[in-house]
């Protein structure tokens, strides 16, 4: 089976290459950044691609986006995504393509050689492989908006429509102070603590759109 590997850490990239070659996979190409991944996948059309979610230059979701784009060019291209952490939004986006041949594993699983190699083979054969911890997180968050009150859901729906606090207040016939209170309640219930880039509003809307 022909494999493309996308991993920015040189030691892990080399280790994955040696491991797969030891089990008679043919590693036809490796890349260490997002911009190179899509053209590499389009050129080689591998039997399976092993892709890190976060790649240079921004270390956000370059790997995932390139993989999804490649499946648009070559429908059903088998992709096994590796991630350092459980990231439910990424997992949902990957699984949104119902053509199968996808996998999402935490990098810790690579330590179990038999499990990892079996996962690569399953995805290459058109199957779906999900890390048990990822599955557990998806189940935990399968209905994240259930924790919100009816009014909080209304406010969140208006946020998703792009309305400001003032516009939401006018639409729902409440005060801006009440809207702010509901929004803070939404942030708390969806476990969205303040962050350096203060992107909680965007993340709350994403939760609404993915519910």
Tell me the domains of the chain and their CATH numbers.
2-140 (3.40.50.2300), 144-210 (1.10.10.10)
- The predicted pLDDT at position 26 comes to 98
Cut 0.85: pTM above it:
no
What is the model's pLDDT at position 5?
98
Residue pair 120/25 in contact (Cβ under 8 Å)? The answer is: yes
pLDDT band at 97 (very low <50, low <70, confident <90, very high): low
Q: What is the pLDDT of residues 116-145, one digit of tens each?
A: 999 999 999 988 888 877 766 665 555 667
- For the cut 80, the answer to whether the pLDDT of residue 64 exceeds it is yes
Instruction: Note the pLDDT tens digit of each residue in 22-59.
Output: 999 999 999 999 999 999 999 999 999 999 988 998 88
Instruction: Give me the pLDDT at residue 84, please.
Output: 84
Residue 72 vs residue 42, higher pLDDT: 42
3-state secondary structure at position 52:
strand
- Please provide the average confidence, as pLDDT, over all residues in the chain: 85
pLDDT band with cut points at 50, 70 and 90 for residue 165: very high
Question: CB–CB of 163/173 below 8 Å?
Answer: no
Strand 26-31 with 2-6, pairing: parallel
Give dist(CA 121, CA 24) in Å, integer: 11
Q: Residue range 11-24: average pLDDT?
A: 96
The sheet carrying 48-52 orders its strands as 26-31, 2-6, 48-52, 79-83, 102-106, 128-130
Q: What is the pLDDT of residue 124?
A: 95
Taking residues 50-71, what's their average pLDDT? 87
């Amino acid at each position: 089976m022909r494999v493309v590997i996308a991993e920015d850490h040189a030691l892990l990239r080399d280790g994955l290459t040696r491991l797969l070659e030891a089990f008679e996979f043919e590693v036809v190409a490796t890349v260490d950044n997002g911009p190179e991944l899509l053209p590499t996948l389009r050129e080689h059309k591998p039997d399976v691609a092993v892709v890190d979610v976060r790649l240079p230059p921004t270390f956000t979701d370059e790997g995932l986006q390139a993989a999804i784009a490649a499946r648009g060019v070559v429908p059903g291209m088998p992709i096994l995504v590796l991630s350092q952490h459980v990231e439910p939004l990424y997992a949902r986006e990957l699984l949104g393509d119902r053509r199968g041949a996808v996998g999402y594993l935490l990098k810790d699983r690579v330590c179990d050689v038999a499990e990892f190699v079996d996962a690569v083979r399953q995805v290459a054969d058109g199957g779906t492989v999900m890390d048990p911890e990822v599955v557990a997180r998806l189940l935990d968050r399968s209905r994240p908006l259930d924790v919100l009150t009816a009014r909080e859901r209304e406010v969140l729906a208006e946020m998703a429509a792009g309305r400001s606090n003032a516009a939401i207040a006018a639409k729902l016939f409440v005060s801006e102070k009440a809207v702010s209170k509901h929004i803070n309640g939404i942030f708390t219930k969806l476990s969205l603590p303040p962050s350096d880039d203060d992107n909680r509003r965007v993340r709350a809307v994403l939760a609404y759109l993915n519910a």
